[in-house]
């Protein structure tokens, strides 16, 4: 399991593909800064010796100042470059995860939580980019500085070096267990954050529902539970970080005291010069500092391992089956041949042995009680889901053999919930259209959908920004906007999924005036809520419990299908 986690981490780091030339430059600058930090204590040793002999030390002071300045500038430049590399890695990882999320089959996407996916995109990418840039280079830089400092310390005085390392080893024994515990705490904190994000997305996106049912206190309590859980997890992580920082501080103080006491005794006995003792004190920070960098790297690995596991879970999902490169032509017949379907993870069969032929340039209505599977049929036609058994063909060829993009380009969908995307009216009308749409094209589509008069009265016209989820538009206006979107797309096959069921009778009639223009000379598949809207369909398929009970015109079904006749009579249709 541990090896698999590291493999996932390595795969994601390669996916982030940091520029090796930039990493090399950053590492070189870091090494230059480290070298400067290694050299200046030796110069300080010479300065102390020179002053002890009553010789001038101004040259050494200037040299120390110049060396330290070079180190500071080099390290600062390296950190800035590493920050830019890290942001590039984050952007690439986020793009890769978003690309996979957008291309997931609906059967997989349905199982994911929006807020948690958002957290994966925003937070987990940062953990990996930090590891591959600042923490990795810091680890290499720290290891080299640590090795260099220890080598110089042994050269200066072996007994004092052994005492220094012994005191550091004693103090670091308390730090080691905390570093390994950080992986579990980091994973818990990230999971709590993702859970809170998911809950907030759901609550805030349905704020009207919350207010309508006076559920503010209930949702606040649910969110507070998550918030406090995240607080507790963050506090645990904070305690651990304080422990690590305190351990490093303790190591510095202990090493400093030991060196000052033991070194002072040796200076007093003449076994050690004051300049060498000064160099040792300065080198303490060059030894302890790398310990912190190495600890940070090990801590970063623990956080990145948790992030890599979650990101890999998303990236390992299969994308939608796009089949070959066969392009779908217009004006062919659609055939459902003995289709069975159940949603993934559920046992009941929703569609059972469905067979139906839809001729080109005709209107087929799907009617039946709620839950009978009408909208699912449209989802299968869009290839959002795959049938469990049977085949859907277009022009005699299974639709899965057509490229996914060319197949869906034939379809235009007007849904019941009339989704609206963030942006302007112009952007919503032209949504999904390849190529450039002129203002004339936009206005023509709005006019065909009978929305042009309303848009012309807006201060910014087609450049008016639509509020989130279209809350500044009425239900009828959002529906007309959806119709305009399909007009400009000019599809060969039109899918209407109870497009007017939530509208009043007058608005419904106005929408159907627009739809009649849209449906002309196209193959139309209509899921109908009210039978009055589909009486004139070329054929009506009555669906009950996932099975087609009868197919025919309205009058044929009234004469021959009791279930249809009962539904029609309940809706007060005259026979």
- Residue 354 exposure: Cα atoms within 13 Å on the Cβ side: 36
Q: Of 116, 183, 498, 508, which is the active-site residue?
A: 498
Taking the alpha carbons of 13, 19, 24, 25 in that order, is the dihedral positive or negative? negative
Strand partners, 354: 339
Q: Is 221 among the residues known to form the active site?
A: no
Distance CA 448, CA 467 (A): 23
| Segment (H or E) for 116 | helix 114-119
Give the bridge partners for 358, in sequence order: 334
- Which residues make beta-bridge pairs with 465? 424
Residue environment code for 45-68, b if the CB has 16+ CB neighbours within 10 A, otherwise e:
bbbbbbeeeeeebeebeebbeebb
Longest Cα–Cα distance in the chain? 121
In this structure, are residues 481 and 431 in contact, taking their beta carbons and an 8 Å threshold? no
Judged by DSSP in three states, 356 sits in: strand
Sheet strand arrangement including 411-414: 411-414, 493-497, 523-527, 363-367, 539-544, 547-552
Residue 538 DSSP label = S
CA distance 191 to 177: 22
Distance of CA 485 to the CA centre of its chain: 27
Residue 123's contacts (CB-CB under 8 Å, 6 or more residues apart) are 190, 193, 194, 307
Instruction: Outline where DSSP puts E strands in 368-514.
Output: 389-394, 397-398, 411-414, 423-424, 465-466, 493-497
Distance CA 118, CA 113 (A): 9
Q: In the chain, what is the straight-line distance between the N-terminal and C-terminal CA atoms, in Å? A: 69
The conformation of residue 95, written as its DSSP 8-state character, comes to: H
Among positive and negative, which fits the CA dihedral 507, 410, 535, 568?
negative
List active site positions.
498
């Amino acid at each position: 399991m541990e090896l698999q986690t590291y493999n996932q981490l390595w795969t994601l780091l390669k996916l982030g593909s940091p520029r090796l030339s930039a990493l090399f430059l950053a590492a070189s600058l870091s090494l230059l800064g480290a070298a400067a930090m290694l050299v200046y204590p030796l110069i300080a040793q010479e300065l102390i010796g020179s002053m002890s002999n009553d010789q001038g030390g101004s040259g050494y002071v200037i040299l120390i100042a110049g060396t330290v300045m070079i180190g500071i500038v080099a390290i600062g430049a390296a950190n800035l470059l590493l920050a830019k590399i890290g942001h590039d890695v984050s952007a690439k990882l986020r793009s890769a995860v978003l690309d996979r999320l957008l291309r997931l089959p609906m059967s997989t996407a349905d199982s994911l939580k929006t807020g948690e996916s958002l957290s994966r995109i925003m937070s987990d990418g940062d953990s990996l980019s930090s590891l591959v840039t600042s923490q990795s280079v810091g680890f290499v830089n720290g290891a080299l500085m640590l090795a260099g400092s220890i080598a110089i310390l042994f050269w200066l005085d072996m007994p004092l070096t052994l005492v220094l390392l012994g005191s550091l080893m004693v103090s670091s024994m308390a730090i080691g267990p905390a570093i390994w515990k950080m992986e579990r705490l980091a994973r818990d904190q990230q999971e709590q954050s993702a859970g809170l994000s998911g809950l907030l997305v759901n609550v805030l996106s349905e704020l009207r529902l919350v207010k309508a049912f006076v559920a503010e206190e209930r949702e606040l309590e649910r969110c507070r539970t998550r918030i406090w859980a995240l607080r507790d997890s963050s506090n645990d992580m904070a305690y651990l970080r304080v422990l690590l920082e305190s351990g490093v501080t303790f190591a510095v103080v202990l090493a400093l005291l030991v060196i000052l006491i033991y070194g002072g005794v040796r200076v007093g006995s003449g076994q050690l010069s004051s300049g060498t003792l000064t160099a040792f004190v300065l080198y303490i920070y060059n030894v302890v500092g790398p310990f912190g960098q190495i600890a940070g790297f090990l801590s970063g690995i623990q956080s990145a391992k948790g992030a890599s596991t979650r990101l890999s879970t998303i990236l390992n999902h299969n994308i939608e089956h796009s089949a070959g490169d066969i392009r779908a032509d217009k004006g062919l017949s659609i055939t459902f041949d003995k289709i069975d379907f159940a949603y993934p993870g559920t046992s009941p069969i929703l569609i059972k042995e469905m067979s139906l032929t839809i001729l080109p340039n005709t209107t087929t209505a799907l009617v039946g009680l709620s839950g009978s599977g009408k909208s699912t049929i449209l989802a299968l036609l869009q290839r959002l889901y795959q049938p469990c058994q049977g085949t859907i063909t277009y022009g005699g060829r299974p639709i899965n053999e057509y490229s996914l993009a060319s197949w869906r380009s034939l379809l235009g969908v007007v849904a019941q919930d009339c989704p609206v995307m963030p942006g302007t009216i112009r952007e919503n009308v032209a949504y999904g259209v390849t190529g450039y749409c002129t203002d004339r094209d936009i206005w023509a589509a709005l006019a065909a959908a009978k929305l042009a008069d309303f848009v012309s009265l807006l201060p910014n016209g087609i450049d008016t920004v639509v509020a989130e989820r279209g809350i500044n538009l009425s239900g009828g206006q959002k529906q007309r906007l959806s119709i305009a979107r399909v007009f400009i797309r000019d599809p060969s096959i039109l899918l209407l999924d109870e497009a007017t069921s939530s509208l009043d009778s007058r608005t419904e009639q106005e929408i159907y005036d627009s739809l009649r223009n849209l449906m002309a000379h196209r193959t139309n598949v209509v899921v109908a809520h009210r039978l009055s809207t589909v009486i004139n369909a070329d054929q009506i398929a009555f669906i009950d419990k996932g099975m087609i009970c009868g197919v025919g015109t309205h009058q044929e079904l009234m004469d021959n299908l009791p279930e249809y006749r009962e539904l029609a009579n309940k809706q007060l249709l005259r026979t």
